């Protein structure tokens, strides 16, 4: 099964998430135990697409020493990027126009030239979509699901999500006390792209009064009513958690920028929600956007464990002849699912889930 495997590369792509280094460590140690040479590709695929840009050649050796003491560290020792998607790479022509080109064949060639027999691609929907195309072109690849957004199909959870929710919960707890002290409305914007997992997870855990998510286009009237009903009951403060991808029933998402070769950047919906609520309630209101704080820092114990399990499972999968697949959590086990199935659409919060049912039981308003 392990026929032909001598040199295994690892890369990390897309936005970083707590736990990347733990995956790298487990994969490297497990690979070395099998006598395989382990290497890391710098900054997603940039290390093989533009090796000249790197003094170290873009592909670096990963030995036992290079992964020592990194399990608890945030970020990624390999670097990452969510710019310049190699499947839709923007190239500026001499006349100033931008042409979009597919560079996947270049990656396949470069991996061959580097003598890489298998690739462990750690990423979210974008990076694993690229991995899926490489698999279809004959690269022996196994994906590892990473993202704070938790929006990947076929795995119960991605690593990074627990750390983001834990931190967001702590922040909302803190905002609770100051909101109560000042009788204010606090609007807390959280990341999550087109899914409301972080908003619902942290919002429910931190007892938010309203949670606005992309899965439920909202009206502000019921949110304002909820705030005023609390006021009448003597609770003069309220917490509203807003996912960055949420939008009004008749409105659009709040997009900061759209650049060729990368996903649109969301942000600013919290300000819109706050303006509307001030108009409707007249209450003193503040906005906090937790933004990249949710991605920074080290992984929780749960994310460390999941990331280590995923890293070890990726190597076990390669050893068993798995390719074109992704490791996935299916409690209590980690199993292997086809990359094509994992990347066909994003996983949003099911409205009939127990999580949403719990939120509804608790009386949390979703603006519907």
Active site residues: 149
Q: Are 134 and 104 in contact (CB under 8 A)?
A: yes
Q: Which residue is nearest to ligand F6P (CB)?
A: 191
Cα separation of 156 and 158, whole Å?
Answer: 7
Comparison of 201 and 317: residue with beta carbon closer to ligand F6P: 201
Residue 165 binds to ligand F6P (criterion: CB under 6 A): no
Comparison of 14 and 324: residue with beta carbon closer to ligand F6P: 14
Q: Please list every residue from 230 through 249 that binds ligand F6P, using CB under 6 A.
A: 244
Number of helices (H), then strands (E), in the chain: 11, 15
Q: Are 14 and 126 in contact (CB under 8 A)?
A: yes
Residue 253 binds to ligand F6P (criterion: CB under 6 A): no
User: x/- binding map, residues 292-311, to ligand F6P, per CB under 6 A?
Assistant: ---x----------------
Handedness of CA 97, 98, 102, 104 (dihedral sign): positive
> Comparing C-alpha atoms, which of 90, 106, 12, 6 is closest to residue 51?
106
Residue 154 binds to ligand F6P (criterion: CB under 6 A): no
Q: Please list every residue from 257 through 276 that binds ligand F6P, using CB under 6 A.
A: 265-266
Cα separation of 228 and 239, whole Å?
Answer: 12
Residue 25 binds to ligand F6P (criterion: CB under 6 A): no
Residue 322 binds to ligand F6P (criterion: CB under 6 A): no
Cα separation of 365 and 253, whole Å?
Answer: 20
Comparison of 255 and 319: residue with beta carbon closer to ligand F6P: 255
Show the DSSP H helices in the chain as ranges.
Answer: 20-33, 46-49, 104-113, 125-136, 161-182, 197-205, 220-232, 269-281, 301-319, 339-342, 354-361
Residue 152 binds to ligand F6P (criterion: CB under 6 A): no
Q: Please list every residue from 34 through 93 that binds ligand F6P, using CB under 6 A.
A: 82
Long-range contacts of 199-203 (CB under 8 A, 24+ apart): 199/241, 199/242, 199/243, 199/246, 200/349, 200/355, 200/356, 200/359, 201/150, 201/161, 201/165, 201/168, 201/169, 201/355, 202/164, 202/165, 202/168, 202/169, 202/172, 202/241, 203/172, 203/241, 203/359, 203/364
Comparison of 154 and 189: residue with beta carbon closer to ligand F6P: 189
Q: Which of 15, 40, 44, 317 binds ligand F6P (CB under 6 A)?
A: 15
CB of 124 to ligand F6P, least distance (A): 6
> Comparing C-alpha atoms, which of 214, 209, 211 is closest to residue 251?
214
CB of 153 to ligand F6P, least distance (A): 15
Cα separation of 204 and 241, whole Å?
Answer: 10
CB of 211 to ligand F6P, least distance (A): 16
Candidate ranges 24-32, 147-155, 172-180, 303-311; the one touching ligand F6P (CB under 6 A) = 147-155
Beta bridge partners, 188, equal 241, 288
Comparison of 226 and 247: residue with beta carbon closer to ligand F6P: 247
CB of 147 to ligand F6P, least distance (A): 5
Q: Which residues have CB under 8 Å from 302's CB, separation 6+?
A: 162
Q: Please list every residue from 171 through 230 that binds ligand F6P, using CB under 6 A.
A: 191-193
Comparison of 249 and 292: residue with beta carbon closer to ligand F6P: 292
- Give the number of residues in contact with ligand F6P, rule: CB under 6 A: 13
Q: Which of 43, 117, 149, 162 binds ligand F6P (CB under 6 A)?
A: 149
Comparison of 294 and 314: residue with beta carbon closer to ligand F6P: 294
Q: How many CB atoms sit inside 10 A of residue 63's CB?
A: 13
Q: Please list every residue from 110 through 139 that binds ligand F6P, using CB under 6 A.
A: 124
CB of 266 to ligand F6P, least distance (A): 5
Binding footprint of ligand F6P on the chain (CB under 6 A): 15, 82, 124, 147-149, 191-193, 244, 265-266, 295
């Amino acid at each position: 099964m392990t026929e032909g495997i001598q040199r295994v590369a690892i890369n990390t792509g897309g936005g970083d998430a707590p736990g990347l280094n733990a995956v790298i460590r487990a994969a490297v140690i497990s690979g070395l135990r099998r006598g395989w040479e382990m290497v890391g590709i710098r900054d997603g695929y940039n290390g093989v697409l533009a090796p000249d840009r790197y003094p170290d050649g873009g592909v670096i050796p990963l030995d036992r020493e290079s992964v020592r003491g990194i399990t608890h560290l945030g970020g990624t020792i390999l670097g990452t990027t969510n710019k310049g998607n190699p499947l839709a790479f923007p190239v500026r022509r001499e006349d100033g126009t931008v042409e979009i080109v597919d560079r996947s064949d270049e990656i396949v060639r470069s991996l061959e030239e580097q003598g890489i027999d298998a690739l462990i691609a750690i990423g979210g929907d974008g990076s694993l979509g690229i991995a899926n195309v490489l698999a279809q072109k004959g690269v022996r690849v196994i994906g590892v699901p990473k993202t704070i957004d938790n929006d990947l199909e076929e795995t119960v959870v991605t690593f990074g999500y627990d750390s983001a929710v834990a931190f967001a919960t702590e922040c909302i707890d803190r905002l609770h006390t100051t909101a109560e002290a000042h009788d204010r409305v606090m609007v807390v914007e959280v990341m999550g792209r087109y899914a409301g997992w972080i908003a619902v997870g942290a919002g429910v855990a931190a007892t938010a009064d309203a949670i606005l998510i992309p899965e439920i286009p909202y009206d502000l009237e019921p949110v304002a009513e909820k705030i005023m009903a609390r006021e009448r009951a003597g609770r003069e403060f309220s917490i509203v958690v807003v996912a960055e991808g949420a939008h009004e029933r008749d409105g659009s998402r709040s997009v900061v920028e759209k650049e060729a070769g990368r996903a649109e950047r969301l942000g600013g919906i919290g300000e819109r929600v706050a303006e509307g609520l001030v108009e409707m309630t007249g209450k003193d209101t503040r906005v906090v956007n937790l933004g990249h704080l949710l991605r920074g820092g080290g992984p929780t114990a749960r994310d460390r464990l999941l990331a280590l399990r995923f890293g070890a499972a990726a190597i076990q999968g390669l050893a068993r002849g798995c390719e074109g697949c992704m490791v996935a959590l299916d409690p209590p086990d980690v199993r292997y699912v086809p990359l094509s199935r994992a990347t066909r659409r994003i996983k949003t919060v099911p409205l009939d889930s127990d999580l949403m049912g719990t939120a509804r039981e608790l009386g949390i308003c979703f603006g519907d």
